[in-house]
Amino acid sequence: MDSIYFSEEHHIFRKSLKDFVKKEIRPYAEEWEEAEIYPREIFKRMGDLGFLGVSYPEEYGGGGGDYFTTIVFAEEISKCGALGFAMSVLVQTDIASSALNEFGTHEQKLKYLKPVLSGEKIIALGVTEPNHGSDVASLETTAIRDGDHYIVNGSKIFITNGTQADLITLGVRTGPGEGEKGLSLIIFETSTPGFSVGRKLKKMGMHSSDTAELFFDDCIVPVENLLGREGEGFYAIMLGFENERLVGAAMSYAGAEVALELSLQYAKQRIQFGKPIGQFQVISHMLAEMATDIEAARQLTYHAAWLKGNGKPCRKEVHMAKVFSTEVATQVANKAVQIFGGYGYMQEYEVERIYRDVRLANIGAGTSQIMKNIIVKLLGL
Ligand SMILES: Cc1cc2nc3c(=O)[nH]c(=O)nc-3n(C[C@H](O)[C@H](O)[C@H](O)COP(=O)(O)OP(=O)(O)OC[C@H]3O[C@@H](n4cnc5c(N)ncnc54)[C@H](O)[C@@H]3O)c2cc1C
């Protein structure tokens, strides 16, 4: 689509990614949804083709693109037929790896970011704990300094890519200090003795993405795996969340767009009372509302992405984009199921999956309530 934000390069990139998604992901989406996991090899294949980390520096295997290259990536990967897989890829490319790119030393990036962007290693983000979800500042997993290493103890829950991850960008309490003051981020290797994966969790949607409980029992992590400065992890987590929330916004309206396209086709084909259902004004107006809401979500996300890409303050706009786009996505998916009638309730129709998948969007990466708390704080209340 034409837009002031995209150049010819973005269009070329979009086309090549679209072709890849059509040939190498969409045909397998069903299989991965049923297996409730994607194969590791697909990350390697994407890494070989240069699709992982499109905006990261080329020195570490990234594409060297601008922030809108990431937006194109998030949009097109989200049209692959399984938002769960898209989410897992986005965790790899933007959610779990962004702190590494932002705060990692050259050596850390060579050791950890490079194999993530080549798809050889899978990375997860470990922040949420059984007793601390929205309240990130209270997290309890400890990393106690002992000479030249930390000893990590605790547990995490709802971790995307959790069963397959080789690396975890891990939120830990290094202390001293209460709340956000004592938090740090470390890069954790899952081959470390004392680490274990608990249950692979059964979910309402996003089936092609694995979600797990993780346990840390006296795990020894070298001090050089600290990301950024000790005690400044909360800031690093929040900055990472900004990225996560922006790609989450793009993923949401892109998923909603698929639901709209399917609904439009269906409204032209499905005949009731002797005419296509799209000729009933209630249905056509629903389609018009869906298209308008998606466009508004997209433009707000583009605006926030432009601010972010140009190094301007963007916190308020990023959170507005996240809450608006994710709420739009759930409403659009709901309308799509309604337009499909009973068929929309059947698993063989993609709108059923989209409806279940997008329900996560206004919970994961910070709930809508938390987004609004942040927005209103930024408004000065
Ligand atoms: C499928 C899936 C994948 C996920 N992947 C990851 C991952 O890879 N890594 C990771 O670290 N986490 C991940 N999460 C966790 C996710 O980020 C949390 O679920 C989310 O932040 C909410 O935390 P919670 O579930 O503990 O809910 P809670 O924080 O317990 O919230 C429960 C309810 O209370 C509301 N609430 C809480 N506090 C406030 C407040 N101050 N004001 C108003 N309302 C409030 C919430 O909005 C919500 O409605 C994932 C979650 C899911 C479901």
**Atom of ligand 1 at shortest range from CA of 132:** 26
pLDDT digits (tens, 9 = 90+) for 16-61: 999 999 999 999 999 999 999 999 999 999 999 999 999 999 999 9
pLDDT digits (tens, 9 = 90+) for 81-96: 999 999 999 999 999 9
CA atoms within 13 A on the CB side of 217: 8
Q: How far away, in angstroms, is 49 Cα from ligand 1 center?
A: 34
Q: How far away, in angstroms, is 131 Cα from ligand 1 center?
A: 10
Catalytic-role residue among 244, 257, 317, 352:
244
Instruction: Give the long-range contacts of residues 269-274, CB within 8 A, separation 24 or more.
Output: 270/341
State the pTM of this model.
0.97
What value does the CA radius of gyration of the chain take, rounded to a whole number of Å? 21
Q: How far away, in angstroms, is 366 Cα from ligand 1 center?
A: 6
Residue 239 is predicted with a pLDDT of: 86
Beta strand ranges found along the chain (DSSP E): 123-126, 142-146, 149-160, 167-173, 183-189, 195-200, 211-222, 226-227, 271-272, 275-276
pLDDT digits (tens, 9 = 90+) for 321-357: 999 999 999 999 999 999 999 999 999 999 999 999 9
